[in-house]
Structure 1
Amino acid sequence: MSTVSERDFRQRVTEVIDAFAPARAAGGNAWGEGDDRVSVVAERSEGEAEEIARLRRYRAHLDDHGLSWVEGPATYGGAGLTTRHADLLRAVEAEHELPDDAYLRFSASTLCPTLLEHGTEEQRTGLLHRLRTGEVIACQLYSEPGAGSDLAGLSTRAERDGDGWRLNGQKVWSSGAHYSDLGLCIARTDQAKPKHAGLTTFLVDLRAPGVEIRPIRQLTGGASFDEVFLTDVHVPDSARVGEVDGGWRVVMTSLLHERSAIGREVGVDGALVDRLVDLARHVRQPIDDRTRDQLADVVVRAWAARLTTDRYLDRGATPGPELAMTKLLTTDLLRQMSDVAADVLGAGHVADTGEWGTYAWSELTLGLPGLRVGGGTDEILKNAIGERVLGLPKDAR
């Protein structure tokens, strides 16, 4: 497959996905037909287990045809193609009625490339293929009640225990921990070193003794975030990712890949923009000039966000700090879309009239704060761009 043309690849991918799910109606579903949810965060209050099971079946179907990791190395079950081919696969997926892939986003788009760079050969051969197919689902165990934006100030400890480690601490805002099998956890292994040093990352079995997971109910009614308590959790040294006291590099690598995934895979779906335009057409007749200008601005910004992300990621190099921009563009676009929907709907944005496709926009609005925090808050990302991309003086510490 390493020499397949883009045209032949798209044709093959279409045939494979057609065999699993029907194509979306041209131009999207007609107004009033199908599910009217517009959330970009996987946080179903019901039917979550069924959706994950269907997603695993879909990933297994792709794997049967050599498409579960298009841009991944053949050594670990990938097809060895380019990021452009991976984009083509996503484009075809967007044309079909497929399960929500957000449940595997960290596993596939963040942890896999992080393990490629920092993992051992045993971890790569044992996990990469299973993460891509959904056989194993993973999540982050980074933030803590006293260490959010200042992640290096964490207090979770990992102490030597024979041939392994013993972990104690609390993590919070861990997306998907309640349905995950593994957690990539950062803990302090040397109290005497500066806070960015003395940190080590581990793959923690979330079914191990001493792990307690408590879902956090959100404004949307869902519970995509969790608290995770670690009490004398034993982790073998073979589950350590990267060097002892070198965990900060591992975390920075994972965050760069997370931000690129958010920029590329979340929020700038053309179908969501089309839904906003349809909303205005059905609620406001005729569309006034002010609303028309707002919609035009959303369309232009959506294209700009997509093209900017492609420009950064198509270079073929390791993602850098400039990818903070892609995440900011995405969350800002979604905020703007939420504002336009609220302006168009008026009271219908906060009070359900029962009309299809209207009150559903409130889920996007209520889910946005979580998305703007995940992967680094907007404020922290702006500092990263200013200091590490533009070379501006560092913020006062």
Structure 2
Amino acid sequence: MSLPAFESEAREWILTTAARLGFDRVDDPHDVAVFHDMDFDEEQRLLDQHRTWQRAKFEAGYAALDWPAEVGGRGLDSAFAETFVRLENELCPLRPHELFSVTMHLVAPTINLLGTAEQKVEFLPHMLRGELLACQLFSEPDAGSDLANVATRAVRDGDDWVVTGQKVWTSGAQFAGWGELIARTDPDQPKHAGLTAFLVPFDAPGVTVRPIRQMSGGTSFNEVFLDQVRIPDRLRLGEIGKGWNVALTTLAFEREGGSDSSSIGGQFSQLVSTAQDLDREHDPRIRELMARVYLRQKLARVDTLLDRQSRDGGAAPSAVGSIRKVQWVDKLTAVSEAARAILGRDLIADTGTPGTFSWNAHVLGAPGYSIAGGTDQIQRNIIAERVLGLPPEHRSDRGLTWREARAARTASPR
């Protein structure tokens, strides 16, 4: 099938199926939120609708267009998958939900790439049908931006692993059935070498989830506590001690997908509308700031096309994803700067004028993505070392085991 023919077919399917399922489009021109702010029941209803939509996509062959047929895909070129995503963002009436994005675009592709044959059969069909949702159990309170410094321990006990520790900033955990966990299995190896990845069922004894209230209002993030949680070895993802490679794979999928998240937060068109409503579109400074936003959106599209060429050539996710992530976060920041300049004091007080105070949801939410998936500083280090070939940053823990490095940090004066 040609790409234009596919686009016509997919457009008709999306419109017809959304109508058949009774999904009503709620167009709010003033919705510029980066993170959703819903109560538990409202969020559960949205996820149920996403499950229904995902199952319909799977049954119609649209759930994994560029995946191999043997794991539920159609084996098409990535251009077909990108076309469908663009149409879906344009025509599907459902608001996006991060847990679905994490499941379909991060965890499922990681299992598809690194999982055993049994794991692919056990997880992928259920994920592609929307029956199984999974989150990332990566970040920890004491590790900060240094993911390799995680302290959650997994100790072998026969055919099981016993896991104890805490994860934080876990998107969608309160609704997830599973988690992709990075844990330390050998503290006497250097920090990158002593990690192992697992797939953790959230109904296992010892798993506790606590939502975190964000300054933008919602509870997208969570703390997850693991207290002597037993995980069978068959749920280990990748080899023992190779968890860092698994984490890098998932993060590469996350970073390369950042620039495609065009529907998140305020957009150029909404900035223009707000400036026009307030009669500020002719201000030279505001025009300059809006031009910066427009440029960032165009650069993101160029990055997407370049990456597609690379992936079509068989390349695996790479450090180029860090470039795309930095570009996308810069665009979110540029939108915040333009919104502040356009609105002035209308941004901090709800005067009742539509499309003014609502920009708070973007301004307060945007900083979160400068941290999510690795901070901006981490991304720039990756770009410097792996793309530009610059010398690596100095590390005081180089050559030390994780246990030695932790003891040295504890003993050093603060």
Q: How many residues align?
A: 385
Unaligned 5+ runs, structure 1: 23-27
1:11 has 2:8 as partner: yes
- The alpha-carbon deviation at position 319 of structure 1 amounts to 1.4
Cα separation, 2, equivalents of 1:393 and 1:185? 31
Cα separation, 2, equivalents of 1:326 and 1:384? 12
Aligned position for 2:336: 338
1:37 has 2:31 as partner: yes
Aligned position for 2:84: 89
Deviates more, 1:256-265 or 1:98-107: 98-107
Aligned position for 2:45: 50
Aligned position for 2:270: 275
Unaligned 5+ runs, structure 2: 20-24, 396-414
1:228 to 181, 204, 224: 224
Aligned position for 1:25: none
Aligned position for 1:362: 360
Deviates more, 1:328-337 or 1:75-84: 75-84
TM-score, reference length from structure 2: 0.89
Cα separation, 2, equivalents of 1:267 and 1:19? 22
Q: Secondary structure at the match of 1:341?
A: helix
- The alpha-carbon deviation at position 20 of structure 1 amounts to 2.9
- The alpha-carbon deviation at position 42 of structure 1 amounts to 4.2
- The alpha-carbon deviation at position 395 of structure 1 amounts to 1.4
- The alpha-carbon deviation at position 161 of structure 1 amounts to 1.8
Alignment of 1:1-397 (within 5 A): 4-21=1-18, 34=28, 36-45=30-39, 47-96=42-91, 97-266=93-262, 272-285=267-280, 287-316=282-311, 317-397=315-395
Q: Which amino acid aligns with 1:326?
A: R
Q: Assess, with a 3 A threshold, how the Cα gap between structure 1 residues 302 and 159 changes in structure 2: closer, same or farther.
A: same
- The alpha-carbon deviation at position 283 of structure 1 amounts to 1.5
Residues 229-266 of structure 1: CA deviation (Å, up to 9, x unaligned): 00010111111000011111100111001101112234
> Does the 8 Å CA contact 1:16/1:62 hold for their aligned counterparts?
no
> Does the 8 Å CA contact 1:155/1:188 hold for their aligned counterparts?
yes
> Does the 8 Å CA contact 1:268/1:330 hold for their aligned counterparts?
no
- The alpha-carbon deviation at position 284 of structure 1 amounts to 2.1
Cα separation, 2, equivalents of 1:35 and 1:123? 43
Percent identity over the alignment? 39
> Does the 8 Å CA contact 2:34/2:264 hold for their aligned counterparts?
no
Cα separation, 1, equivalents of 2:134 and 2:247? 15
Q: Secondary structure at the match of 2:155?
A: strand
Q: Which amino acid aligns with 1:120?
A: T
Cα separation, 2, equivalents of 1:54 and 1:360? 26
Residues 191-246 of structure 1: CA deviation (Å, up to 9, x unaligned): 21111111100001112110011111000110111111000101111110000111
> Does the 8 Å CA contact 2:114/2:238 hold for their aligned counterparts?
yes
Cα separation, 1, equivalents of 2:79 and 2:368? 30
> Does the 8 Å CA contact 2:51/2:131 hold for their aligned counterparts?
yes
Cα separation, 1, equivalents of 2:3 and 2:80? 7
Deviates more, 1:287-296 or 1:363-372: 287-296
> Does the 8 Å CA contact 1:149/1:376 hold for their aligned counterparts?
yes
> Does the 8 Å CA contact 1:40/1:266 hold for their aligned counterparts?
no
Aligned position for 2:406: none
Cα separation, 1, equivalents of 2:54 and 2:282? 42
Cα separation, 1, equivalents of 2:320 and 2:244? 18
> Does the 8 Å CA contact 1:313/1:319 hold for their aligned counterparts?
no
Q: Secondary structure at the match of 1:231?
A: strand
Cα separation, 2, equivalents of 1:325 and 1:207? 37
Cα separation, 1, equivalents of 2:278 and 2:203? 49
Q: Assess, with a 3 A threshold, how the Cα gap between structure 1 residues 258 and 291 changes in structure 2: closer, same or farther.
A: same
Q: Secondary structure at the match of 1:209?
A: coil
TM-score, reference length from structure 1: 0.93
Q: Pairwise CA RMSD of aligned residues?
A: 1.8
